[in-house]
């Protein structure tokens, strides 16, 4: 069967235009779930006409991919669910500075000192307690999780979870290595080898009464309550008061690839992500705390500023990451 010259020409033009469109599309390596990123990306494309292709994976794996690809990378931007990976990327020279007028709207303790990454949304490490249980009523600090009374009743994630690692870093910076080591050893005794791969599963089991208390990111509690408003869950903001170190925070953030070929478009995307409109979308979709001052979190979430937060800059989550991993490994946390 013969194919006409006109059909071949049309096909060639279509392929050419498609390749051209892809070449002009921003490519984002994203360590966040699509459901958290794509709504704000869709708004950006609608407003600017700039197409964005999102490649999703683990933050650590994508950072390693950026490092291995070097100047050959297709990535224009990198989004991480963890400040530790962002700071590591900065130290490896993988990013370029965000324009100052964009970066400066985010507080200095939630971005790199050289503005090679900026925080987009923050989350708090909190205690989730079964409200019907009498076992864990005494717990007001994360360090109470090492109490032997919680043996078999404690729920935590595995120690390679990014939020787990970030939390340990904050605690180590706030109270020192020795106290943090003792805490890890106590938690290990309480959980044995029974740990979770998802925060959502922790909240589910605590609501069901299988466990009495857990350590999670705050928004998982509110997501569960949205589906099951009568679930017997109680959130405890730990380590408050004059002698408390405060709640550990971590941020998700964005960086521009050192090797982007679409610098202007990449700048526009970051500017939108930290704009009031972009930050409001984050707050609505993921119930995290917007990093831009003046943009409120979702109404059901405790307001930023209403409780004490540990005074540890987010860059330390990267700078101290290896020391944290060494400590976790030395204890043998599952």
Q: Helices H, strands E: what count in the chain?
A: 13, 10
- How many angstroms separate the CA atoms of 153 and 169, rounded? 24
Walk along the chain (334 residues) and give the pLDDT tens digit of each residue: 444 545 434 433 333 333 444 458 999 999 999 988 999 999 999 999 999 999 999 999 999 999 999 999 999 999 999 999 999 999 999 999 999 999 999 999 999 999 999 999 999 999 999 999 999 999 999 999 999 999 999 999 999 999 999 999 999 999 999 999 999 999 999 999 999 999 999 999 999 999 999 999 999 999 999 999 999 999 999 999 999 999 999 999 999 999 999 999 999 999 999 999 999 998 888 899 999 999 999 999 999 999 999 999 999 999 999 999 999 999 999 9
Q: What is the pLDDT of residue 282?
A: 83
The answer to whether 171 touches 180, Cβ cutoff 8 Å, is yes
Span 123-248+320-331 CATH architecture:
3-Layer(aba) Sandwich (3.40)
Give exposure, 130-163, as e/b (b: 16+ Cβ within 10 Å): beebebbeebebbbbbbbeebeebbbbbebebbb
Torsion of CA 319, 325, 328, 329, to 10 degrees: -150
Pick the CATH number of 5-122+251-301 from 3.40.109.10, 3.40.50.740, 3.40.190.10, 3.40.50.720: 3.40.190.10
Q: What is the pLDDT of residue 73?
A: 98
- How many angstroms separate the CA atoms of 68 and 62, rounded? 10
Q: What is the pLDDT of residue 20?
A: 41
Q: What is the pLDDT of residue 23?
A: 59
Strands 213-217 and 154-155 turn out to be parallel
CA separation (Å) from 190 to 3, 170, 184, 232?
A: 71, 22, 10, 22
Q: What is the Cα Rg of the chain in Å?
A: 22
Q: How far is CA 215 from the centre of its chain?
A: 15
- How many angstroms separate the CA atoms of 310 and 175, rounded? 10
Give exposure, 95-114, as e/b (b: 16+ Cβ within 10 Å): bbbbeeebbebbeebbbbee
Length of the chain: 334
123-248+320-331 matches 5-122+251-301 in CATH topology: yes
CA separation (Å) from 116 to 25, 57, 64, 282, 296?
A: 22, 21, 17, 21, 25
Q: What is the pLDDT of residue 5?
A: 47
Q: Please classify residue 319 by burial: count the beta carbons closer than 10 Å to its beta carbon, then call 0-12 exposed, 13-18 middle and 19+ buried.
A: middle
The answer to whether 65 touches 259, Cβ cutoff 8 Å, is no
The answer to whether 85 touches 253, Cβ cutoff 8 Å, is no
The number of CA neighbours under 13 Å toward the Cβ of 175 is 20
The number of CA neighbours under 13 Å toward the Cβ of 143 is 17
- How many angstroms separate the CA atoms of 84 and 1, rounded? 59
- How many angstroms separate the CA atoms of 120 and 240, rounded? 25
Strands 95-96 and 77-80 turn out to be unpaired
The answer to whether 317 touches 323, Cβ cutoff 8 Å, is no
Pair of tokens at residue 282: 């984050």
- How many angstroms separate the CA atoms of 27 and 74, rounded? 7
Q: What is the pLDDT of residue 229?
A: 97
β-partners of residue 324 are none
What residue spans define the domains of the chain? 5-122+251-301, 123-248+320-331
Give the phi and the psi of residue 159 in degrees, each rounded to 5: -75, -5
């Amino acid at each position: 069967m013969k194919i006409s010259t006109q059909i071949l020409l049309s096909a060639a033009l279509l392929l050419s235009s498609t390749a051209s469109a892809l070449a002009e599309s921003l490519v984002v390596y994203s360590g966040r779930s699509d459901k958290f990123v794509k709504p704000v990306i869709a708004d950006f494309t609608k407003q600017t006409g700039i197409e964005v292709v999102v490649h999703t994976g683990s933050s650590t794996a994508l950072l390693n991919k950026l490092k291995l690809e070097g100047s050959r990378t297709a990535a224009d931007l990198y989004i991480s669910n963890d400040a530790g990976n962002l700071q590591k990327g900065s130290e490896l020279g993988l990013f370029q500075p965000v324009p100052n007028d964009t970066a400066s709207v985010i507080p200095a303790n939630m971005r790199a000192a050289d503005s090679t990454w900026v925080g987009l949304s923050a989350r708090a490490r909190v205690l989730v307690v079964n409200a019907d249980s009498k076992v864990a009523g005494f717990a007001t600090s994360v360090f109470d999780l090492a109490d032997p009374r919680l043996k078999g009743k404690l729920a935590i994630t595995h120690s390679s979870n990014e939020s787990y690692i970030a939390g340990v870093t904050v605690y180590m910076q706030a109270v020192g290595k020795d106290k943090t080591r003792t805490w890890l050893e106590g938690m290990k005794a309480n959980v044995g080898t029974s740990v979770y791969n998802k925060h959502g599963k922790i909240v589910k089991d605590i609501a069901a009464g299988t466990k009495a208390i857990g350590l999670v990111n705050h928004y998982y509690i509110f997501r569960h309550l949205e589906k099951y408003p009568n679930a017997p869950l109680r959130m405890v903001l730990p380590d408050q008061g004059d002698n408390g170190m405060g709640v550990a925070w971590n941020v998700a953030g964005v960086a521009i690839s050192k090797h982007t070929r679409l610098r202007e478009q990449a700048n526009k995307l970051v500017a939108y992500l930290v704009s009031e409109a972009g930050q409001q979308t984050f707050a609505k979709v993921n119930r995290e705390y917007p990093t831009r001052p003046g943009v409120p979190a979702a109404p059901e979430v405790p307001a930023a500023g209403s409780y004490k937060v540990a005074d540890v800059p987010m860059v330390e989550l990267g700078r101290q990451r290896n020391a944290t991993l060494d400590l976790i490994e030395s204890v043998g946390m599952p």
